[in-house]
Amino acid sequence: SNQPDRFYKVCVPSNSRVMMLLGQLERMNGDIVRQAETARQVTAKILHLIQTQEKSGKEVMSKGSSGMEVILASLENTRDVQTILNILSILTELLTVGRGRRVGVFVSKGGTGILFHTLLSASKEMPPSEELMLQLHSLLAKVGPKDRKFGVAARLSGALNVTVNLIKQNLQNPKLLLPCLQVLRVYSTNSVNAISLGKNGVVELLFKVLAPYSKKNTSLLKVALDALGALLKSKTNARRAADGGYVPILLALYADWHRNDARHRHMLIRKGLLVCLRNITNIKLGRKAFVEADGMRVLYNSSTECLPVRTLDPLVNTSSLIMRKCFPKKRLPLPTIQSAFLFQLPYVPGTGPAGRTYSQGPGVDDVVDESDDNDEADTENDTENEEDEKDQQSPNDDIETDLNKLHPKKGPCRPYEELRVYERFFVELSEDFQVSQVSVLIRRWKVQASQCLCRPFPQTRALSPGLTQGPPAASARFRILPPASLTPLQLDNIHISKDQEKTGDAHIPTTDKRDRTLSPLGPEDEAAEGAVLEVPDTALLLPLHDLDLYVEMVKGTLSVPQYAEVAYPDYFGHVAPTFREPLLERVYGVQRAKIFQDIERLIHPNDIVDKVVYDLDIPSCPVIEDDGESLKFNSQFESGNLRKAVQVRKFEYDLVLNSDINSNHYHQWFYFEVSGMKVGTTYRFNIINCEKSNSQFNYGMQALMYSVQEAISGSPRWVRTGTDICYYKNHFARSSIAAGGLKGKSYYTLTFSINFKHKDDVCYFAYHYPYTYSTLKMHLSKLEALRTPQIYLRQDVLCETLGGNGCPLLTITAMPESNSNDHICQFRNRPLIFLSARVHPGETNASWVMKGTLEFLMGSSPLANSLRESYIFKIVPMLNPDGVINGNHRCSLSGEDLNRQWQSPNLELHPPSTTLRVFCDYHGHSRKKNVFMYGCSVKETVWQSNISATSSDLQEDLAYRALPKILSQIAPAFSMASCSFVVERSKESTARVVVWREIGVQRSYTMESTLCGCDQGKYKGLQIGTRELEEMGAQFCVALLRLKRLTGLRNHQHLLDLERKKKKTSCPTTYVLDEDEPSFLEAIDYSAESNDEDVEAENEHLRRIHLYLSGLHVWLQSRKHSTDGVSI
């Protein structure tokens, strides 16, 4: 035979004793049954060698050796029990060494299957050999966790029953029981096996193994608990356990181990018991049983005792997870989740969120589901035909894979005449510049604003008698009434100078810069307890801010609740602090501590106050019952958002946010006023109806606070404030109506604690630096003052919103050098850059970036001049004024486009536009750090989605990368690594994708600014402020100019080369997932589901803008055609 030759060729060294024995074994393999005695001897010798010489094992397992095949073939073929035992011992010896590589070899050679085969044969012997069963299970237990197909192979071979029967027969035989339970533990991790084992009574069987505290057989108990925990992941098994009354048993066992395991030697057993409870309480029946068995108190008490011992954290964390799940769901303290503000739409759409809201009948309780008895009926049964072991390589379904959709759209052309409606937005293109340059500028929104002044404010309150008394203090001081009497700034209390001249009354504040009295009190009250306080003139620091102009602007702003008050921060303005505001370091265990306080509401209710102190849903809001024991809240001013405040404990408040108008969700933005505080105590605030599954508040972000006391003493500014901040899923039920039809969802709590510095202060809290519509109008008005004869600036009204506010459209460019034909021609042929912001009202950071952009563009620097001479800027700085004014987070007053004027133009699209050069919509991002861009690239989308496309489809100019690349080089907050150029399906109706695909603008972007801070660059580790945001806006302009110079060279190559050099890995794409933060030890969410979509809501203004852009583009193209041949 030449077999040995072949064998020896592959083995080294040829003189090895163990290899010679293996050779001998291989030679007898065909006839091993008849040579039983020899086989027994040879295998015994091999075993001896491997047991005594380390090198023998190495030789068998060495690369290129076929030793394992020979051993397995022998095991498969022999029927001699002693030989089998020898071989199993050999395998046990071999596989015990090394870090799993040897087990890997064993599995790859089909070893598992042979073991199951051997197990089945052995089980047919009566009685089966105990020694053999022990050896086989020990080996299976070793191999199982490393073999992905172990569970399926076990089920198909019939091994499950063999093991289960052995367990049943050997409950009193720990020696054999242990390996069998170990194998059972591996079987149970397969979900189909778990169901099958449950049907065969294995759950009940395992409960027979569990026992109260004892020092005996602890490893057995540990393995049994692991197996049980795995089985209870199946909902059918969990139901079985709950029905069988095992929840109180598990709780009693846990309490017993907790009591007796005083030295914490058996933490794993205690953890195992908790894991079983955790899995049973995944079903409603289990939670019910847990609560009935007083589980909340048992786990609360045991956890409290564990808290001081850090090593017991896993027990505390798992207990906390179970308690959160089982905490009885509470109703949000609201009559309805629809906005507290009513705005009747002139036309109610049939579909969409607003349509659904309107079609909801009266008296429907949308806060909690009518009956949630069946909330899990559909999911509580396991699907037995679920595919196991199938590679779950799930591609991202959201990436666009339709190549047709990734290429420009083609549609029918519209007649030129129809497009003339857009002409009015391009007045500059038909201006002849013969008349006075200034007189042609129209400021429509201002006209509108002045008309609005006549509108009465029904909620205006009567002036207090003291208001008109006393002459104004004749000092260059900003006087304010004693802090104790700081009252809301009411529009009617703030008189602009003209009125004052007329009436001669000492209305306050006045526009007279020498006398700014804010308070309605006369000087005779000064002595009482207040002092005359000063506010430095911020004119130099805030050149675009003007207190009186602000009030004037507020009067022209129309809000749905018809606000008559002005928030101090918006009135005073914000001077960015000069100190650094680092990301807040998260205190260890903070979430746990907060959750325990929440659980105490249930367990120790004696200190619960539960007093409503503010409620927009009742007509007498704010609820004033000034007993000095509660804080006072207010949110009734522009951009304010707070619906309700409940004093839960003496120094703790639950706050509820208002839904966007004509919507029943989108709670994120908040802005409210607090007064009546005490100094020297810590107040805890909980915003209890947040919706997103995670937040940057978990990663260093703090909310913003503005202290009026600080402002009047010289520091008018928003400051990042708050400690003990965390964001987690809470115990308030979210109805299916509020969760888009999904049942069993919860809300999230944002909690933070505050120590107020000043007694009787008035403080404001906000999600991010507020930027109201009135602020925008004030800034635009002040910007106009910066115009020089060289600057062309127009302010038009793009459209009037449903709420009656103008949506400003700015045109900024340079005046033509002269009115010669050449210069006017150059003017008219400048390419366009389109910028917009605040389609989402809660993303106030976008406005600060936009402010930076506008200030730069209106500036006198040579760069600004050069930009103006190169481009015509079309800017819509606030796409959603109504949303901003009314304190919405994401929507406008309706989800529908009501203006027929903006009907979709069916567009014949011309070759990629050279007219519209860059489109960028400024946004804010609540879940990521840094500033970054989303762009559009066919190539990167194709690359990401793995769709096959011919190379001709993939020819793409890399121009889309140039602008973000430049930004990453010049703007410290900007991060290229955070950018993404993948086109997602869910984003297909966003301005960015529409402008790219339908208008063919390559450089179409969304620029996302963090609400939190930076984790790279110069600002690494710091929270972002208005200074950095404004800088970002200015740097965006600088980047545009650099881009122009680069494209002027018609060569981005060197820029991209730069990028390539920097990146060692040549991954062409940067597809970034929504959340990029590491997960916590402390789970924010306690359920498996956590997949909230972050789809940009289709919004009437977004659509308007998209249509406006399509329209303007086509109009420009048509105009070009119609004027072809006509010399300008």
CA atoms of 945 and 645, how far apart (whole Å):
47
Single out the catalytic residue among 1008, 1028, 1082, 1100: 1008
CA atoms of 1066 and 950, how far apart (whole Å):
21
Q: How far, CA to CA in Å, does 509 sit from each of 223, 477, 506?
A: 76, 12, 8
Please say which residue, 923 or 1044, places its beta carbon nearer to Zn ion. Answer: 923
Backbone angles phi, psi at 683, to 5 degrees: -100, 140
Q: How far, CA to CA in Å, does 898 sit from each of 363, 877, 1101?
A: 28, 21, 10
- Please indicate whether residue 1008 is annotated as part of the active site: yes
Q: How far is the CB of 976 from Zn ion (least distance, A)?
A: 20
Q: How far is the CB of 1099 from Zn ion (least distance, A)?
A: 10
Q: Can you list the alpha helix ranges (DSSP code H) found in 573-674? A: 590-603
DSSP structure string for 562-582 = ---EE-HHHHH-----SS--B
CA atoms of 699 and 710, how far apart (whole Å):
28
CA atoms of 541 and 580, how far apart (whole Å):
18
CA atoms of 958 and 1053, how far apart (whole Å):
9
Please say which residue, 768 or 868, places its beta carbon nearer to Zn ion. Answer: 768
Instruction: Name the residue among 80, 177, 156 with its Cα closest to residue 122.
Output: 80
Backbone angles phi, psi at 660, to 5 degrees: -60, 150
Please say which residue, 837 or 1114, places its beta carbon nearer to Zn ion. Answer: 837
Please say which residue, 325 or 840, places its beta carbon nearer to Zn ion. Answer: 840
Please say which residue, 517 or 844, places its beta carbon nearer to Zn ion. Answer: 844
Q: How far is the CB of 923 from Zn ion (least distance, A)?
A: 4
* 330's tokens: 């509470």
Q: How far is the CB of 985 from Zn ion (least distance, A)?
A: 17
DSSP three-state, residue 479:
strand
Point out the residue whose Cβ comes nearest to Zn ion: 923
Please say which residue, 272 or 841, places its beta carbon nearer to Zn ion. Answer: 841
* 560's tokens: 């749905």
Please say which residue, 634 or 880, places its beta carbon nearer to Zn ion. Answer: 880
Q: How far is the CB of 887 from Zn ion (least distance, A)?
A: 16
Q: How far is the CB of 879 from Zn ion (least distance, A)?
A: 10
**DSSP assigned state of 324:** H
Residue linked to tokens 């959750």: 595
Q: How far, CA to CA in Å, does 962 sit from each of 196, 260, 870, 1051, 1067?
A: 58, 67, 18, 10, 17
**Do the beta carbons of residue 924 and residue 768 sit within 8 Å?**
yes
Cβ neighbours of residue 222 under 8 Å, at least 6 residues apart?
Answer: 268, 269, 272
**DSSP assigned state of 417:** G
Q: How far is the CB of 727 from Zn ion (least distance, A)?
A: 19
Q: Give the binding site for Zn ion (CB under 5 A).
A: 840, 843, 923
For the chain, how many residues are written? 1128
CA atoms of 1071 and 1055, how far apart (whole Å):
21
Calculate helix-pair angle for 959-970, 1026-1048, nearest 10 degrees.
Answer: 130
Q: How far is the CB of 1071 from Zn ion (least distance, A)?
A: 19
Please say which residue, 428 or 843, places its beta carbon nearer to Zn ion. Answer: 843
Please say which residue, 545 or 923, places its beta carbon nearer to Zn ion. Answer: 923
Q: How far is the CB of 1074 from Zn ion (least distance, A)?
A: 13
Q: Using omega within 30 degrees of 0 as the cis cutoff, is the peptide bond preceding 127 cis?
A: yes
Mind spelling out the 3-state secondary structure of 27-62?
HCHHHCCCCHHHHHHHHHHHHHHHHHCHHHHHHHHC
Calculate helix-pair angle for 295-306, 313-326, nearest 10 degrees.
Answer: 150
Please say which residue, 639 or 811, places its beta carbon nearer to Zn ion. Answer: 639
**Do the beta carbons of residue 782 and residue 726 sit within 8 Å?**
no
Catalytic machinery residues: 1008
